[in-house]
Chains A and B, each alone.
Chain A
């Protein structure tokens, strides 16, 4: 589904990713772990085409298409979704209106007919309830005044409504209470259908217990330095990141 090859990425004039490789096949679940500042969010930004990053060399192929030069909205319409580490607040933009606009853009792209306000709201309400969000979130301004956990749930809500094919979750579990973590994990598991792929960036094993990843990758110094199965989390939790790079090289 996605192949990243020799990806070198700058933020400003600082090189953050230095020849990174990653293959994500259809239906697979990947976790990416690594120290603060190692470049995990930068990788996610490079995949969705964030303006902070400039791709210096290498490629990202998604469904056999090179996407590094595609506009962010085109990548989204092709099925790539990023749940942001820090979702921003957009005052004055109604949450439901925003999400309906996004969903209808996607439906139009897929040649489906647009949902009217009533049809859309019905679907949104169901999801809001499933995620244990307050119904008032529907009519509030996008993320404005939302608590940290509410913002994360709102990202999951968007994911579920937009039904993307490649889902990148950047620290979706940070700052969530126990119930919220479960609700979010259930939301993610509902999305698993053997076709969709996931990249879950996290610092903790807890969410991985719910989600059951196929691969754990360690990102260090702009590259993936180690890949293992679920058992790698336990090693990391016990021993930290020290020695990972040496042991793999």
Chain B
């Protein structure tokens, strides 16, 4: 591990990186999009500016000597420390990033990552990815490339252990390709507190024809995490994308999702449910883009948020962008409070206000947790939810 101070200043960026054509192209994209500031749409409510202006100790990810460890891929401060059995893990210095990503930090994290971690899944597999962060006041950048071969069924369960990494920033991301006829389920269960590193994940999922993507994310607790997705859907693909967010304390938690129907007859369902407590901020910025060639698309998007008190805030921005005629598309967004009539009904049967609130909150979140196919994972998420729910704000 080598440590050198780093601040992300646009003017210094070119000197930081090598100058091969791949790097140059990414730098050009980064400059085009600009380092995100408080006016950058996707980061507006995330408080990005101080995060990028801060002096961090730079953690350089080394290659390390990973242990073969059952079904777990563990990454500790950017170093792969365990690899799952039966899955090829390699490191790539020349991964070709998507040149159409909308997020500047997608390029920045690629530029800061000397070697992408590459996972190739050639037979059906269930893999757990654990991100561990142990350093405070540090910047860690790494990226994971996941290739799911055609016709393969893979499921990933991603989780974070970063309870003692305060003041740090993790810039990471996934470049996932789902092969023809393949099916990928990706579950992200991310709990965080005010002691956790800020996490910015900038991702791209590329789903080939007839592929299926199930993406389920759970952002829980009082930490700061923003995930930006660009999901490309080829013809006859199916995408189910669901986000559950429960923010407490002074959390800033959010998902920015660009779901792109590029080929015909693809189906997508995109749902977001958010609950914000205390002074937490939640972000849902979802764009479904139906391209010229995407006839017979079905796209459904829905965002619901519940604010548990006056200081909580939800930014909900569902959008449809349509360039073809023949499609079925719908979207909707509601933000409100717990249903007073329902609360009263429960209380009129002797259930305390506190218990009634919890029953209604659980009824709001259960559906999404139940939709996680693996029971053990669903239970872990439920437990993480309970922990976040029981945590009182530290003032």
List residues of B (334-368) whose CB comes within 8 Å of A's CBs. Answer: 339-342, 344-353, 355-356, 359-360, 362-364, 366-367
Residues of B within 8 A of A77 (CB): 350
List residues of B (352-395) whose CB comes within 8 Å of A's CBs. Answer: 352-353, 355-356, 359-360, 362-364, 366-367
Asked if residues A90 and B353 are in contact (CB atoms below 8 Å), the reply is no
Quick check: is A195 within 8 A (CB to CB) of the other chain?
no
Asked if residues B345 and A88 are in contact (CB atoms below 8 Å), the reply is yes
Measured CA separation A82–B347 after assembly (Å): 11
Residues of B within 8 A of A91 (CB): 363
Quick check: is A209 within 8 A (CB to CB) of the other chain?
no
Asked if residues A101 and B355 are in contact (CB atoms below 8 Å), the reply is yes
Measured CA separation A93–B344 after assembly (Å): 14
Mask of A89-110 contacts with B, CB within 8 angstroms, 1/0? 0111100001101100110010
List residues of A (43-92) whose CB comes within 8 Å of B's CBs. Answer: 48-51, 71-73, 75-77, 81-82, 84, 87-88, 90-92
Looking across the interface, which residue of chain A has its beta carbon closest to that of B346?
Answer: A98
B contact face: mostly helix, strand, loop, or mixed = helix
Quick check: is A220 within 8 A (CB to CB) of the other chain?
no
Name the one of A93, A102, A158 contacting B363, with C-beta atoms under 8 angstroms: A93
Quick check: is A131 within 8 A (CB to CB) of the other chain?
no
Name the one of B341, B352, B359, B366 contacting A98, with C-beta atoms under 8 angstroms: B359
B365 to chain A, nearest CB (A): 9
Asked if residues B348 and A82 are in contact (CB atoms below 8 Å), the reply is yes
Quick check: is A162 within 8 A (CB to CB) of the other chain?
yes
B242 to chain A, nearest CB (A): 15
Residues of B within 8 A of A82 (CB): 348
Q: What bracket does the count of chain B residues touching chain A fall in?
A: 20 to 34
Looking across the interface, which residue of chain B has its beta carbon closest to that of A76?
Answer: B350
Asked if residues B351 and A90 are in contact (CB atoms below 8 Å), the reply is no
Given contacts A71-B353, A73-B352, A105-B352, contact A93 B347 (CB under 8 A): no
Looking across the interface, which residue of chain A has its beta carbon closest to that of B366?
Answer: A92
Residues of B within 8 A of A141 (CB): 363
Given contacts A51-B340, A87-B345, contact A101 B351 (CB under 8 A): yes
Given contacts A51-B340, A105-B355, contact A72 B363 (CB under 8 A): no
A86 to chain B, nearest CB (A): 10
Mask of A101-138 contacts with B, CB within 8 angstroms, 1/0? 11001100100000000000000000000000000000
6 A–B contacts from the bound complex (CB under 8 Å): A73-B347, A90-B346, A90-B360, A92-B366, A102-B351, A109-B350
The 6 closest A-B pairs by CB, nearest first: A92-B363, A76-B350, A102-B349, A72-B347, A73-B347, A105-B350
